Structure 1
Amino acid sequence: MKNESRLILGGYGEAVMSRMFYSNNYKRYTDAATYADNDGYGQFDLPHVVFYVEYDFGGGWTMQSEIEFEHGGTESAVEIEKEETGEYESEVEQGGEVALEQFWIQKSFSPAFNLKMGHIVVPIGLTNQHHMPTEFFTVYRPEGENTILPCTWHETGVSLWGKTKQWRYEVQFVAGLDADRFGSSTWIQSGTGSPYEFKMATSYAGVLRIDNYSVKNLRCAVSGYVGNSAKNTLSPSKFENINGTVCIGAFDFHYQADNIIIRGNFDYGHLSDSEAITSANKSMRQDSPSPSQPVASDAIATGIEAGYNIGSFFKIIPSNRTLFFFGRYDYYDSMLKTQGSVIDNECWGRQKISVGLNYKPLKDIVIKTEYSHRIFSSQYNNEGTFSVGIAYAGFFNN
């Protein structure tokens, strides 16, 4: 009998080449006519490269840690300035982000009762719970959820979860979001994490997710989040008498049978005191991490994708390989509703149509192509993009 290793190593990663058929000038929404006929631009990207380690201590105790490099991580260097004063200079050579996405210790009492403590993924919506590149068709993560919600959303806290044959549940107590980092184009997305060496947690949040597997080949889930955000800032005086309660409800599903896969999501969020938060953020110092932008009271993201394994029509493709042709539709608006004097910027109500191919030569490797067309209100320019990507997700020592 083969002994299973108590140490598991794994990860996932993506490399992407894209050609955008629109301007990348920051004024393309405020002065759309000037940039209507732009030739566009291209880019290479490493959206996510993640390595994780899991270890079974025995007695029901396990741990997992996961480090993520977004967009190639960061690089910096120190050199002596040759042309000015001879001083040492620090330079940023490459953008991106390095983040500890998960670090938790878990005690498992039974399959239906597990207690996880540490830095954990917040499972709101489809993409946060299923964010590996083999779990969605598009080259980049589905754009709606990835815009209005943190993705992958991770916070420090405690999780109680369990599963039976037909149900899985998870309840979390985590740090709340930071209202001074909310913005117009991405709603509460940047409110997670922290620009400091610590995470402000004067206010807290609760999370619930329930998945059901009763129908053959179908998984359905509902998830919700409630928590205050206004006190999780280093400028509490600007947020006096403000709660900034964030409420999010989400539904998602996954259906897979024979050569068909269909996935979908619907997310709706509400932020109380959005007018007061907007005013407080606009009064922040210029060197603060706040974007100092208007914030909406309500936001929405909904999407559906469907794919068919057209490789089943071709005898030259072995049965253990798949070639999916897919289509996807997204509608999302980070300023769906505004409060009081906050002006709704209509350019943040967007639709996106995508078509493409996913080829899997192996279960853990996928090569993707996609053409997407982002659709705005009539006064703005639509945005087309062609992308090619290769990705993996798997375990290294199994």
Structure 2
Amino acid sequence: MMNRATQTQGTRLGRLGLLAAAVLGIPHAFAEEAGGPKGRLVVGGYGEVVYQHFDYSADVNRYNYPDKFGKENRGATDIPHFVLSASYDFGNSWKFSTEIEFEHGGSGSALEMESEEAGEYEQEIERGGEIVLEQFWLEKTFSERAHVRFGHLVVPVGRTNSHHLPTEYFTVLRPEGESRILPVTWHENGIEFWGRTKHFKYQVLLVAGLRAEGFGSANWIKGGSGSPYEFNVASSGAAAFRVENRSVEGLTLALSGYLGRSASNSLKYKRYEGLSGSLAIGAFDAQYRRKGLVFRLDSLYGHLGDSGAISAVNKSLPGLSDSPRDNVASAAATYGAEVGYDVFHGRGGLGRLLPFARFEYCNSMEKTDPGILADTRYSRRTATLGLNYYATEKIVFKGEYARRTLASPYKPENTISFGVMYAGMF
């Protein structure tokens, strides 16, 4: 018979085995067989493999000289996201969770000896993706209505940040509008309070603010998240929230928002002296599901104070800065709607087959300060027709045709996309 000390040691080793299993990707069932406490560790993730065909040029000058570029036929394949996640229950109402994301296949470099160059050593970038720590937090639960999280958190502003799994939207890639003007998935260091009742769920976050240095014409505030340094400058914080209501069966209504200052979150903060760079974002989204019908809509509007002065500072930054060094708008906007219907609804064993349609509008330069000309290439409307087949609720195959239209003199851009995705906890 084992004594208490031996049992305690075995339990600790079992827990270490579970954590090692999470890191190494060992299946949960196998980890339990290794002697760990059942049900305390959950692992999972999501991933996407995509092929796309384009009828327009990839040349960066196609918008600067639109008359010089006609239709082209080109293709690309990608792994936009591959995410490994793990959650562990420490007991006494404490939980840990993390997500590590490999974007576009991850990143890598290699040291090589070049025989053509007298055996010189060269270090080359082998892969141009990224490896990102998307979530890393500890959570204390007081009740179903009251939880608190500390760490690296997802900022749930807009529908896409709140529902970024590939099984939660119709299109092959994440919806373009919010993905173009916001950080997606948006994650920051901070603290979160959340809870739910029968009909409501709330989230309130206090996080590090964005960097005005990263703002620009094409992607508005998207580049303001994260840092090119080994730390984030956080002289100014920000607040974010999301509230969902499910009072009507099948219907979810949500409001989300963000408020913070951005000008002082730079190592070169004196360049922005006297500026606030106050940023306010408001968003509304909804989903209705009944029988085989799925309908979703989203809308978002954001305002940036001191955008004209920030534009002037950013354009004066040195070339090694990660800033786009161009104008940034005082306002950006996006809205979209999509509808699909499961033609296999009520037929057991066939999975789900949903033809769908989506329309969205996005403009990263919706409004500008006096003296800044809004670039019409960033006002875009995209119509998409496609098909989703869910082999299971966790595995989906997607195909679509999308047509993006821009203001004259820019030509329409057509894309055909296919993808296979999964998302689940195991």
TM over 0.5: yes
1:253 and 2:286 correspond:
yes
Range 203-212 or range 86-95, more displaced:
86-95
**Map of 1:100 onto structure 2:** 133
Spell out the pairing of 1:184-263 with structure 2 (5 A cutoff): 184-263=217-296
From 155, 169, 179, the equivalent of 1:122 is: 155
> Per chain length, whose mean CA-contact separation is higher, i.e. which structure has more relative contact order (CA < 8 Å, sep 6+)?
1
Choose the corresponding residue for 1:49, options 65, 68, 82: 82
Conservation of the 8 A alpha-carbon contact between 2:389 and 2:397: yes
Report the equivalent of 2:384. Answer: 354
Query: Could you tell me how far apart the structure 1 residues matched to 2:209 and 2:178 are?
Result: 19
- Which residue of 395, 405, 417 corresponds with 1:387? 417
| Residues 344, 350 of structure 2: 8 Å contact kept | no
Q: Cα distance, 1:319 vs. partner? A: 4.3
Are 1:27 and 2:61 counterparts? yes
Provide the secondary structure at the position in 2 that maps to 1:347.
Answer: helix
Cα displacement string for residues 158-200 of structure 1 (whole angstroms, at most 9, x for unaligned residues): 0000000100011100000011111111100111011111011
Residue 186 of structure 2: which of 144, 148, 153 is its match? 153
Q: Deviations over 1:328-384 (max 9, x none)?
A: 000010000000222210000000000100001111000000100001012101100
Q: Percent identity over the alignment?
A: 47
Moved over 6 A (4+): none
* Post-superposition offset of 1:82: 3.2
Match of 1:77 in 2: 110
Q: Aligned AA for 1:371?
A: Y
C-alpha RMSD of the superposition: 1.4
Per mean C-alpha deviation after superposition, the further-off stretch among 78-87 and 245-254 is 78-87
The residue aligned with 1:342 is 372
Per the TM alignment, residue 395 of structure 1 is displaced from its structure 2 partner at its CA by: 1.3
Partner of 1:183: 216
**Residue 325 (structure 1) shift:** 0.3
- Aligned letter for 1:381? K
**Partner SS, residue 128 of structure 1:** helix
- Residue 47 (structure 2) aligns with: 13
Q: 1:85 offset after TM fit, Å?
A: 6.0
* Alpha-carbon separation, structure 2, partners of 1:262 and 1:394: 22
Instruction: Supply the distance in 2 between the matched residues of 1:319 and 1:256 (Cα, whole angstroms).
Output: 20
- 1:365 counterpart = 2:398: no
CA-CA distance at 1:320 after TM superposition: 5.4
- TM-score, normalised to structure 1's length? 0.96
Q: Give the aligned residue type for 1:285.
A: P
Give the CA deviation at 1:83. Answer: 3.4
CA shift, 1:4, in A, is 5.2
Given that residues 312 and 319 in structure 1 are in contact (C-alpha distance below 8 angstroms), is that contact kept between their aligned partners in structure 2? Answer: no
Q: Report if aligned partners of 2:395, 2:420 keep a CA contact under 8 Å in 1.
A: yes
Q: Is the 8 A contact 2:291 2:345 kept in 1?
A: no
SS of residue paired to 2:116? coil
* Partner in structure 1 of residue 5 of structure 2: none
**What amino acid is aligned across from residue 198 of structure 2 in structure 1?**
K
Q: d(CA) in 1 for partners of 2:192 and 2:341? A: 36
Instruction: Using the TM superposition, name which of 282-291 and 79-88 deviates more.
Output: 79-88
TM-aligned CA deviation for residue 30 of structure 1: 1.0
CA contact (8 A) 2:209 2:265 kept: yes
How far, CA to CA, are the matches of 1:192 and 1:350 in structure 2? 23
1:78 maps to a residue whose letter is L
d(CA) in 2 for partners of 1:21, 1:362: 33
Q: In 2, are the aligned partners of 1:307 and 1:325 still within 8 Å (CA)?
A: yes
Taking the aligned partners of 1:245 and 1:320, their CA distance within structure 2 comes to 51
- What is the TM-score when the length of structure 2 is the normalising length? 0.90
Alpha-carbon distance in 2 for matches of 1:229, 1:40: 41
Distance of 1:13 and 1:344 partners within structure 2: 37
Gaps of 5+ in 2: 1-31
Deviates more, 1:288-297 or 1:77-86: 77-86
Compute the displacement of 1:26 (Å): 0.5
Are 1:309 and 2:342 an aligned pair? yes
The answer on whether the counterparts of 2:82 and 2:103 sit within 8 Å (CA) in structure 1 is yes
Aligned equivalent of 1:62, options 95, 116, 125: 95
Superposed CA deviations along residues 255-308 of structure 1, whole A, max 9, x for unmatched, are 111000011100000000001110111000011111101100000010111000
The aligned residue for residue 16 of structure 2 is none
Greater helix fraction, Structure 1 or Structure 2: 2
The answer (yes or no) to whether the contact 1:80–1:88 under 8 Å persists in 2 is: yes
Output one character per residue of 1:191-239: Cα deviation in whole Å (capped at 9) or x when no partner.
1011111011011100111100011110000011000011111111211
State the shift of 1:6 in Å.
Answer: 0.3
Structure 2 CA distance for aligned equivalents of residues 7 and 354 of structure 1 = 40
Structure 1: tracts of 5 or more residues without a match: none
Q: Is the CA contact (8 Å cut-off) linking 2:317 and 2:323 kept in structure 1?
A: yes
1:141 to 165, 174, 177: 174
